[in-house]
Each structure stands twice: as structure tokens, then as C-alpha cells.
Chain A
């Protein structure tokens, strides 16, 4: 097979493979489930229905990659966190220099919340660093408490941290 033919075959393969991705993901012609573009478009359609900048949109985005059986607990957890954040912002005593204390919030949830609150001063102690929902309140601080998930709803990383801190 000469070189020109090989190049044409490779080009056809590249184009065909890229086009195959656009088959709807439940199409019989897409038996290996390559139709990822349609999943992305469905996610974005849902975001448009929520309102792209809304808390519902953020909750949805932060949980869509969880396994289906874990999405419920994660969404409850995120909704609870966002409700507390908005309650703080709506509090008449909330000032730009009011300290926001995180209690028992996992690190991967705490940092995005800190980003939303920035430049509000916050505590930096995550669940993995030892913070717990029943930590002593810092005077004058407003708190965001974790709706701490049961053990079987935690991620592997959270369990690893908890074991490490318990010396196991």
C-alpha cells in the first residue's frame, strides 16, 4: 500500500472517528457509548434551566460526576452548604471583615466556598486538617457547618484522612 493511500486512510479514520462521537449516545450505531457531546449539551441545557449562575447550577455541576447512588447525598450536602453561605451574606450583621468559620467542611468543598466568599476572611482549617462540626465557635465569627456525611457517603480521600487522624 503506497504512502498516499495510507495518508488518505488515516485522514478518513480521523474524520470518521470524530463524527462518530456525535452519534446520540443511545443510538444502536454507537454501541460503545461514545456520544459524549450529547451528554455535555444535556448538562448545559439543565444549567440554562436552573439559571447558569444560580446555586442550583453549582450544586448540579458539583455532583454530576458522582456515581448515581451518591448524587443524592452530595446534592443535599452542597445545597446545605450554599444555603448557609447565602444566609451569612443576607445577615444584617455581616461585614466585609466578618470572619467566616468553617466547621467540619472537607477541603475540596471548603476551597470553592472560600473562592465564592473571597476576600472575606475565613478560617483555613478543613475536615482533613481536624476541623469538626462541633468545633468551638470563634467569637464574632459566622459559621458554615458541614452536614457531615455518614461514613459510607464519604469519598475515599475523606476516609483516608479520617483514618490518618485516628491513627489507623
Chain B
């Protein structure tokens, strides 16, 4: 526990100081600062570990420790030297101005939100890695880092290990390995216990950002809602499990997606200085977490260029340079030389394949709808999000909110495109398709993955819906 606690404290300090030094203090509350600090810190620490590996230094206590210490020191010096500007704000997030009833509701929802993430944190502490993909993709690479002090050895180059999907970006494997660097030996349960803390950062960021824009009550509802998503907090099914304690990359990706979405909204609405820089960082971390982060980078850059107002092209280029540059520098050029043993979706994006894929929409769209309506997995989340957004169409004139909604919709569209062109198969899926005549391989794949893909977008969608439709106890005005 001391090793895990140390890593979390260092990540929190690293992210917070970096945030204050480079990105500016937006005048927000402690929870949001803490959440964003932890999110940035996990990304930065994992990224520094990746840098040590990519540039041949080896992933050891000395190299990673020195890199983290250097960034900490530079951030501290920068913090001391600069006077951080107060960002815009109207005090709506502050608890002091609330009535007794509102304060009770806010504190109650935050306490229940703590229970939700607390369940995930406890599960992460107790359960060894169970999920199949978590074992063969992420934790295997974390073990390889512990054993070889690099991922660029036999695990990456030997095609026999292709089932680990060698080209998948390994940021979270590096984050899990941080615990081993402190602890001194590999322990599956200990290292996988860091994963629920991505959810903790997600909930804290969501509360603070929504509270700043829509009031503390709405912020508390956002925190509660996300913390009690079944697939985040406690559900071990539907397969293959997307929960925060599952040592999968979906919750970490959803955290970086949320960070990026909140940063882009703050940037376009003029709420914070240097939010574009933070956006670029979160985009880079998203791309280093899962392949799904790469189209997210491209879509964000394109939408910022199109909808970002004055100077938008210049800003979009800057965002793209940071986000895509981070990915290219730390992993892109390495992955280009590794065996292509994964599904290799970019290679499927031909006109012929896409044209044929239109025939799959009759399976894809209904199943996606069924996933969204599945109460066991989502409660009433997607119905509620769509209802709140549908009733707030006029507010979509706000550039930040409009961009978020478009971005999430387009990202969902890329997932639909992936299902259209996928060459994935398994003998069981083919057998089911052959013997029943009603299911098909894509349907089986969707049963396994649709909920995880929706989880990437869920926290951001919830925040967007609540920013568009704040909850008030009394009528406004």
C-alpha cells in the first residue's frame, strides 16, 4: 500500500505543479485542481517512463525517478517565479453561497459519489487481474517492463507474442509499472490497484468543471452520476468488463477524453488561459492510451480549426502539434517498426471495404442502441443524456458546448465505421453465425466491445449534458 500511495502522491504533486506552472490556475476549487492534477500527473509520469524506454535509457528507478524529479523541480521553480492569473469565473462553484437545502444535497451527492469510486478502489485492491484483455495486453506489458526494464525487447519484436497486440500504445502499462519501481518487485494485484484512481480523477474533474459552469449542485450530480455508472463502479459484466478496477485501458482513456473535452470547452469559451496547451497534452495522453485516441486527436484538431473562431487554424495546428507530436515522439515511430498483429483498422479503410460495410449497419445500429438502453450496464444514462441535450438545442450556440457534442458524436461515428470495416473474427462467432443464421460476427464483436467504447465517451457526454442543462432547485430568474 505504501508503494501505491507514494506513486499516487507523486503523480498528484507532479500534475498539480505542472498545471500551476504551465497551464495557469483557473481559480477553480480543490476537487477540480486535485482531479486535473492527478490526471495530468498519471499521464506525465507514464509519459516520462515511456520516454526513458523510447530513448534507450531503460525503465528503472533511477531513470524514471530522475525524469520525474527534474520535471517536478522545473515546475516548482516556474510556480515560484510566476504570478498565476486568476481565470474568469463567477463564483457559481462555491459552496458558500448555497442555501442549507442545496448544501445538504451537494454534500450528500458528493458523499455518495465517494462511495461509488470507493467501491472501485476497494475492488482494485482486492481483485487480481481477471479480465482477459487486461492480462494479455496491459498487465503483461507491465510485467515485461518489470522484468526487462524495457518494452522494446522480445515481447515487442517476437511475432509469437502477437496476441499481446504489440503496437498498442502502452502508456497505462508504464503507469502500472510505476508501482513496481517503488515496491521493488512485480505484484499483479498491487500494480493493477492503480487503475481505479483514473476513475477518481475523472469524478473530481467532472465535479469541478461542471460546478464552475453550472453550479455546485449540478457539479455534484455529475460526480454522482459518473461515479455510479455500473460499468465504472461495480459491474463485472457484461463481458469483457469495463470497470475501473478491471485493469483495462477504457477508463483511463475516458479520463483523458474528459480532460480534453473540458479543456477545449474552456478554451473556446474563454474560461481559462492556455487551455489549448492542456488540450494538446490530454489528446497526446489519449492517443498513448488506446488506438481509439488517435481518431479523437484528428477530430478535435479538425473541429477546433473549423469552429474555433478567430485564430482557430493556428490554434488547431498548435493543439495537433502537441497531441500528435507527443504520440509520434513517444510511441508512433516505435510502433511503425513492430509487427502488425492487431486488427490494423487503418489498413481496412478502403472504399470497397467501407461500401461493403454499409450492409452491416442493419446489425450495428440496433445493437448500439440496445447497448445504450441496457439498464444493467448503464442505468438510464444515455436516455437521460439525450433528453437533456435535446431540450437544450438553443444553448448549442455556445461554441464550447457545440464542439463537445459534435466531437463526441463524430467519435461515436468512428467506432461505427470501425465495426463496418472490421476483419475481426473468432471460431465461436463464426459458429454462432453459421448455426443460428441470425447473429453474425460483427454482432458478437459488438457484444464484447460496444459498452467499452461507449464508456470512452460517457463521462464527457454526461458533463456536456449537465453543462447544457443545469439543475436548479428554484426557478432561474
Q: Which B-chain residue is minimally distant from A12 (CB atoms)? A: B471
Contacts of A52 in B (CB 8 A): 126-128, 189
What separation, in Å, do the CA atoms of A4 and B471 have in the docked complex? 7
Give the interface centre of B147, B148, B431 by most chain A CB atoms within 10 Å.
Answer: B431
Tell me which of B135, B379, B384 contacts A111 (CB under 8 A): B135
Contacts of B376 in A (CB 8 A): 34, 36
Check: A150 CB closer than 8 A to any chain B CB. Answer: no
Contact indicator A40/B235 (Cβ below 8 Å): yes
Contacts of A79 in B (CB 8 A): none
Tell me which of A37, A65, A112, A160 contacts B233 (CB under 8 A): A37
Contact indicator A118/B147 (Cβ below 8 Å): yes
Contact indicator B234/A37 (Cβ below 8 Å): yes
Tell me which of B116, B127, B132, B432 contacts A44 (CB under 8 A): B127
Q: Which A-chain residue is minimally distant from B468 (CB atoms)? A: A7
Contact indicator B128/A61 (Cβ below 8 Å): yes
B contact residues, total (Cβ < 8 Å)? 57
Check: A128 CB closer than 8 A to any chain B CB. Answer: yes
Check: A15 CB closer than 8 A to any chain B CB. Answer: yes
What separation, in Å, do the CA atoms of A11 and B432 have in the docked complex? 41
Q: A111-B135, A156-B428, A160-B428 are in contact. Are A15 and B127 (CB under 8 A)?
A: no
Check: B224 CB closer than 8 A to any chain A CB. Answer: yes
A-contact 0/1 string along B238-270, CB 8 Å cutoff: 010000000000000000000000000000000
Check: B160 CB closer than 8 A to any chain A CB. Answer: yes
Contact indicator B224/A15 (Cβ below 8 Å): yes
Q: Which B-chain residue is minimally distant from A9 (CB atoms)? A: B387
Check: A48 CB closer than 8 A to any chain B CB. Answer: yes
Contact indicator A36/B471 (Cβ below 8 Å): no
Check: A21 CB closer than 8 A to any chain B CB. Answer: yes
Check: A155 CB closer than 8 A to any chain B CB. Answer: yes
Contact indicator A36/B235 (Cβ below 8 Å): yes
Check: A17 CB closer than 8 A to any chain B CB. Answer: yes
Q: A52-B128, A156-B428 are in contact. Are A10 and B135 (CB under 8 A)?
A: no
Tell me which of A19, A34, A40 contacts B123 (CB under 8 A): A40
Check: B375 CB closer than 8 A to any chain A CB. Answer: yes
Tell me which of A40, A118, A157 contacts B427 (CB under 8 A): A157
Contact indicator A17/B379 (Cβ below 8 Å): yes
Which residues of B from 208 to 237 have beta carbons under 8 Å from A? 221, 224-225, 228, 230, 233-237
B-contact 0/1 string along A124-167, CB 8 Å cutoff: 10001000000000000000000000000001110111011000
**Which of the candidate stretches B39-47, B86-94, B138-146 sits at the interface with the other chain?**
B138-146
Main secondary structure of the interface of B (DSSP, over half): helix
Question: How near does chain A come to B129, taking the closest CB pair, in angstroms?
Answer: 8
Check: A18 CB closer than 8 A to any chain B CB. Answer: yes
Contact indicator A7/B391 (Cβ below 8 Å): yes
Check: B310 CB closer than 8 A to any chain A CB. Answer: no
Question: How near does chain A come to B144, taking the closest CB pair, in angstroms?
Answer: 7
Contact indicator A118/B387 (Cβ below 8 Å): no
B-contact 0/1 string along A47-87, CB 8 Å cutoff: 11000110001100110010000000000000000000000
Contact indicator A156/B432 (Cβ below 8 Å): yes
Check: B288 CB closer than 8 A to any chain A CB. Answer: no
Contacts of B144 in A (CB 8 A): 118-119
Contact indicator B221/A11 (Cβ below 8 Å): yes
Tell me which of B122, B379, B472 contacts A21 (CB under 8 A): B379
Question: How near does chain B come to A102, taking the closest CB pair, in angstroms?
Answer: 13
Q: Which B-chain residue is minimally distant from A121 (CB atoms)? A: B154
Contacts of A124 in B (CB 8 A): 160
Q: A14-B225, A14-B380, A156-B432 are in contact. Are A47 and B143 (CB under 8 A)?
A: no
Tell me which of A18, A44, A58, A115 contacts B228 (CB under 8 A): A18
Contact indicator B381/A14 (Cβ below 8 Å): yes
What separation, in Å, do the CA atoms of A163 and B379 have in the docked complex? 40
Seed contacts A57-B128, A111-B163, A115-B136; 18 additional CB < 8 Å A-B pairs: A8-B471, A8-B472, A10-B387, A13-B384, A15-B109, A15-B224, A17-B375, A18-B224, A53-B188, A65-B236, A65-B237, A65-B239, A112-B132, A115-B135, A156-B431, A160-B427, A160-B428, A161-B427
21 A-B pairs, CB-CB below 8 angstroms? A3-B391, A8-B472, A14-B381, A15-B109, A15-B224, A17-B375, A34-B376, A36-B230, A36-B234, A37-B119, A40-B123, A40-B234, A40-B236, A53-B187, A108-B132, A115-B139, A118-B147, A119-B144, A156-B431, A161-B427, A163-B431
The 8 closest A-B pairs by CB, nearest first: A157-B428, A160-B427, A18-B228, A160-B431, A17-B379, A37-B234, A40-B234, A44-B126
- B binding-site residues for A, Cβ under 8 Å: 109, 112, 116, 119, 122-123, 126-128, 130, 132, 135-136, 139-140, 143-144, 147-148, 160, 163, 187-189, 221, 224-225, 228, 230, 233-237, 239, 375-376, 379-381, 384, 387-388, 391-392, 426-428, 430-432, 469-472, 475-476
